[in-house]
Amino acid sequence: MAETAPILAWTLQNEIPVPDDVQALLVEGEQAVTSFKTFRDSATFTTKRLIVRDAQGFTGKKVEIYSLPYSSIEMWSSENAGGLLDRDAEIELWTKAGHIKVKVTKGADIRRLDALLAWAILQSR
């Protein structure tokens, strides 16, 4: 049976303008579509991949960048928040590299994220 415990877990909080420094990460023909605030940094959907910037350390000057090409996502699921006691929604991604869990707080629209993933993954095939 395949391992289902997440290898990564991210939290998307609310939609933000695309950070200026993301442009330097893009390849020719790639465009940033939208970004979301994460706990310490941002996640950006582009026309080719999901880029997650993770500021680290006490000052946040050290930055780790995750790049997930849409072509590596084999399956995904989305779950809306359950109500008063269950306020966070969730997206799970099964990729060639492993399983990624994405929590979605009240400030981000789970259905918009689901539509973004569908558009990105299905158009990359």
List average pLDDT for each run of 10 residues in the chain, which is 125 residues long. Answer: 62 93 94 92 95 82 90 93 70 92 88 92 82
Structural tokens at position 120: 């990105």
Structure confidence at residue 1 (pLDDT): 37
Give the Å distances, CA to CA, from 119 to 9, 21, 40, 44, 116: 22, 24, 27, 15, 5
Name the pTM for this structure. 0.85
Residue 89: in which H helix or E strand, if any? strand 89-95
- Give the SS3 label for residue 75: strand
Structural tokens at position 79: 């779950």
Number of independent structural domains in the chain: 1
Q: Is residue 119 part of a domain?
A: yes
Structure confidence at residue 83 (pLDDT): 63
Q: The domain that contains 73 carries what CATH number?
A: 2.30.29.50
What domain range includes position 95?
8-123
Q: Is residue 14 part of a domain?
A: yes
Q: Is residue 2 part of a domain?
A: no
Structure confidence at residue 52 (pLDDT): 93
Structure confidence at residue 69 (pLDDT): 95
